[in-house]
Amino acid sequence: MNSYMVVAAFKEGVTQDEIRALVPAEQAQAKMLEEQGLLGSIKVSMPKRTVFLEAFGRDDQSVLETIHSLPLAILWDIEIFPTTPPAGSNA
Q: What is the mean pLDDT of residues 1-18?
A: 96
Sequential DSSP letters for 25-59: HHHHHHHHHHHTTSEEEEEEEGGGTEEEEEEEESS
Q: pTM of the entire structure?
A: 0.90
State which fold the 2-82 domain adopts.
Answer: Alpha-Beta Plaits (3.30.70)
Terminal alpha carbon distance of the chain: 12
**HSE-up of residue 18 (Cα within 13 Å, Cβ side):** 12
Flag whether pLDDT at 21 surpasses 80: yes
Comparing C-alpha atoms, which of 61, 38, 42 is closest to residue 50?
42
Work out the mean pLDDT of the chain and round it to a whole number.
95
User: Around Cβ 37, how many Cβ atoms within 10 Å?
Assistant: 10
* pLDDT band (50, 70, 90) for residue 90: low
